[in-house]
Amino acid sequence: MKQYKLYIFDFDGTLVDSYPTMCDIFGSAFKTIGQSCTPDEVTQYMRGSLIACIGSRGLNSSQTNLFIGAIMAGLANKEFNKKTKVYYDTIDVLSRLVGRGAKNAIVSNNSVPHIVEILNNNNMTDLFDGIVGSDTCKNPKPAADPVLMVMDMFKGIDAKDVCYVGDSVNDYECALNAGVDGYLLDRNGEYALINAPKIATLWDLLTL
């Protein structure tokens, strides 16, 4: 695989297994408005934006305010966050990329404070040179804006030397929209029918 100067990663489902945490967060948030969600819906909401989640439920303004408040409270809940675990390949691959002289960054629909807390919990802050989250970029994935915002942090790096790695089609489309190479991380073989460059583990990024 080609070596890049800047590797941009999605966060949830790509670098960390935050599904148990997100089940707690979404479950608690929907409970505040008298609703519930299934495990499959949690996966869907994790891979999309909060705006898309709210739209799919047709929440009114009052429900939306309560729901967003509960989501923010959940993201700040340290007991919830302890359930988020780093994937087995994450730290090794990120460290090796840094050793090669590459830059690492995160583009996520999650909030920056939440991401930073998880990174701090796992001694990973030194492995990243930039983070863009839902609270720092108006237009979420699959819009190009979050990736372009990261690229703006590294003005000397050309688009041909940048890739974006994520576990959802939204991530791949975001990469395409931003004009950079995209790789769909397919840990469980769920994207066999999707026409996109795929990797099975983050270790594949190290293979020439």
Give the tens place of pLDDT for each residue, 24-74.
999 999 999 999 999 999 988 988 888 889 999 999 999 999 999 999 899
Same domain, 62 and 91: no
Strand, helix or coil for residue 88: coil
Query: Does 64 fall in a domain?
Result: yes
Query: Does 1 fall in a domain?
Result: no
Same domain, 76 and 99: no
Query: Does 35 fall in a domain?
Result: yes
Query: Does 147 fall in a domain?
Result: yes
Same domain, 139 and 37: no
Q: Where a domain ends, among 81, 107, 126?
A: 81
Give the number of domains in the chain. Answer: 2
Q: Where a domain ends, among 81, 110, 135?
A: 81
Query: Does 99 fall in a domain?
Result: yes
Q: Where a domain ends, among 34, 55, 81?
A: 81
Same domain, 72 and 115: no
DSSP tag of 87: -
User: Which residue has tokens 């780093």?
Assistant: 86
Same domain, 126 and 199: yes
Query: Does 133 fall in a domain?
Result: yes
Same domain, 41 and 57: yes
As a whole number of angstroms, the distance between CA 66 and CA 159 comes to: 40
Same domain, 116 and 39: no
As a whole number of angstroms, the distance between CA 67 and CA 33 comes to: 7
Percent composition of the chain: helix, strand, coil (DSSP 3-state, to 5): 50, 15, 40
Same domain, 74 and 99: no
Same domain, 105 and 164: yes
pLDDT at 141: 92
Same domain, 138 and 119: yes
Per-residue pLDDT of the chain (208 residues; tens, 9 = 90+): 799 999 999 999 999 999 999 999 999 999 999 999 999 999 889 888 888 899 999 999 999 999 999 998 998 898 888 899 999 999 999 999 999 999 999 999 999 999 999 999 999 999 999 999 988 988 989 999 999 999 999 988 999 999 999 999 999 999 999 999 999 999 999 999 999 999 999 999 998 5
Same domain, 111 and 162: yes
pLDDT at 208: 53
> What is the domain range of residue 114?
6-17+84-206
Q: pTM of the prediction?
A: 0.91
Same domain, 74 and 108: no
Find the CATH number of the domain harbouring 163: 3.40.50.1000
Query: Does 26 fall in a domain?
Result: yes
pLDDT at 79: 87
- CA torsion sign for 102, 107, 110, 111 is positive
